[in-house]
Structure 1
């Protein structure tokens, strides 16, 4: 008997990632879709051969649904993920885990109480390239990590979102809260924590709504660009840039500078991972290209989530991991606002 999955929210992330990955997972038999716009749920149910729940309560109360993907907009995660866990479902929550530290803690408490799996979709940990980079760092072949820089930018959520317009909820302060920092930045903060096996402890930043306008032609209420300096607990120093205004091409690259050389991740078109040793020797790895908004591939997230449930494994990204990244993003935005260094 296979698993039955429920998906809350039928935007682009469900259409391009969650639904197709559940569809091809051999352990999942059926998908139930819910969206507050019923026609969106119906369209995806037709596309992926699933059924539609008429209300979110119907989905959460259905005892035959064992797993739930919470793909609602950010301000609802703590409501739906908490309810799903307390109703005995395993939950895969989209990032960021929530908009506040208190709400994130509420979800984590619900997970502890329920004993069910909670995984958060920080999908950068799942690429073979990032896993290989982590292996190399952990092996000590390049010595200690000293400094780093990372960036994540594309042309903006209005090109990716379900309604393809600048009325997107990503541009609304009450719904997305963090702008590009919570959309793209939080992925890279989680990645740095994962690659470096370390946590970011101090931050400073500049941010602005430099170019994006809302449906009325006014500058958006959240940042479309943010540039930060970061210091980790172990004393490593780095920079990070997050942008919705990289109009020529997407950039999702990271460079890690170590005592004995450099790791370049998603920096070259040809090689996803490049290692440059301090004696000038180079190693190039062709592993896989990273997902972009224009090039969707299987992220591996759903498969990993299902594996946790079936084989009693720890989630690759726990609620606590997601909370650690959320705290950094909140700190970065505070630093930009008060123009000072903030300790996380």
Structure 2
């Protein structure tokens, strides 16, 4: 079978650390083009991995015949680029948040559908080994229904890991639109929906810029969620966890508690009300310091090859985005927002 020809748009941290290495390790893929407005970044990628370097995505559309694309750009560009590639008959993997407005997300989904291509959103939390195991345990029914929960994602912020550090687009309001909530919060709204197999019904939130000076984007959020099932819980996103960052979820259920990512080495812990304790060593979560394969690229490639729509679809990405947008609405209005 001929290799899938892939282009990567945006050659910053997420492309360098996840997308490009994972495409390189996939034998079904040929990387043919890279684009970045700082063309030397694209050139560096092309020299290392083959293919050509371009300064813009329009040049790739004009000059290359590709099957698929990874869009690893600032948030405000996700929608226009996705739509342009979908209209050219190219399968799209877009980084999260898929868009910065609900209408954009709808247009992206529609463009993919109209052109018969796949749209996948890079919500890698679903594919991390501890989360896969947690889902399997919860689905087995041994814990009974989820009553309450908390889920959180925090680290020191993009200044610590973005290729541009403190000058990163992540801090530019007109390019990022959404701050810690678009970066981390949307991962958790996606994960909790997926894990509980449930939708968020209502959101209340406090969102603000507490410590990152000189930016208008949010660096912290604390949200209260009520699920359709009635379960209630919290979702926290933070760019100011300068020590002891967090990527954990705890579910309190009828028959016990499940702790995910709370103890290093025991990634999933199940404590049942009957006194039994189960621990699962299933491999760590990916972090910015220690990258482990995200599974996203392989899933995207497998979708294209097997002609099976991706499970982390545009529709799924949009549902997760809508939770975050509702949280911003709650912050702006001081009201509980119904989804």
Partner Cα distance (1:42, 1:249) in 2: 36
In 1, the alpha carbon distance for the partners of 2:32 and 2:255 equals: 49
Residue of structure 1 in register with 2:299 after alignment: 304
Paired positions, count: 338
Q: Which residue of 2 aligns with 1:130?
A: 131
Asked whether 1:283 is paired with 2:278, we answer yes
**Structure 1 residue 176, shift from structure 2 partner:** 1.3
2:324 pairs with 1:329: yes
Deviation at 1:129, TM superposition (A): 1.4
In 1: Cα distance, 2:313 partner to 2:31 partner? 25
> Gaps spanning 5+ residues in structure 1: where?
215-219
Contact 2:42 / 2:55 at 8 angstroms: preserved in 1? no
TM-score by length of 1: 0.96
Alignment-derived partner of residue 70 in structure 1:
71
Tell me the residue number matched to 1:177.
Answer: 177
CA apart distance, 1:67: 0.6
Given that 1:145 and 1:256 are in contact with CA atoms closer than 8 Å, whether structure 2 keeps it comes out as: yes
Q: Hey, what's the Cα distance between the residues in 1 that align with 2:290 and 2:244?
A: 12
- Aligned partner of 1:241 in structure 2 is 236
Q: How far apart, in 2, do the equivalents of 1:183 and 1:54 lie?
A: 25
Q: Which runs of 5+ in 2 are unaligned?
A: none
How far is the alpha carbon of 1:62 from its aligned partner? 4.3
After superposition, what is the alpha-carbon deviation per residue over 1:52-110, rounded to whole angstroms, capped at 9, x for unaligned?
13431221244531010011111011111111011011110111111111111110000
- Cα distance, 1:206 vs structure 2: 1.0
Matches within 5 A, 1:181-200: 181-200=181-200
Deviates more, 1:17-26 or 1:29-38: 29-38
RMSD (Å), alpha carbons: 1.2
Looking at structure 2, the residues matched to 22 and 185 of structure 1 have their Cα atoms a distance apart, in angstroms, of: 26
Secondary structure in 2 aligned to 1:75?
A: helix
SS at match of 2:226: strand
Higher mean C-alpha displacement, 130-139 vs 78-87: 130-139
Q: C-alpha distance in 1, partners of 2:99/2:133? A: 29
**What is aligned with 2:335?**
340
* 1:234 Cα deviation after fit: 1.2
User: How far apart, CA to CA, are the structure 1 residues paired with 2:174 and 2:332?
Assistant: 17
- When structure 1 is superposed on structure 2, of 38-47 and 194-203 the one drifting more is 38-47
Match status 1:271 vs 2:272: no
Corresponding position of 1:12:
13
- Which stretch shifts more, 15-24 or 36-45? 36-45
Counterpart CA distance in 2 for 1:144 and 1:329 is: 25
Instruction: Mark the CA change 1:249 to 1:46 in structure 2 (over 3 Å): closer, same or farther.
Output: farther
Query: Alpha-carbon deviations, 1:133-180, whole Å to 9, x = none?
Result: 11111111111111110110000001111112x222111221111210
Distance in 1 separating the partners of 2:35 and 2:20: 12
- In the other structure, the counterpart of 1:33 is 34
Q: Deviations over 1:114-133 (max 9, x none)?
A: 11111000110111211111
TM-score, structure 2 as length reference: 0.97
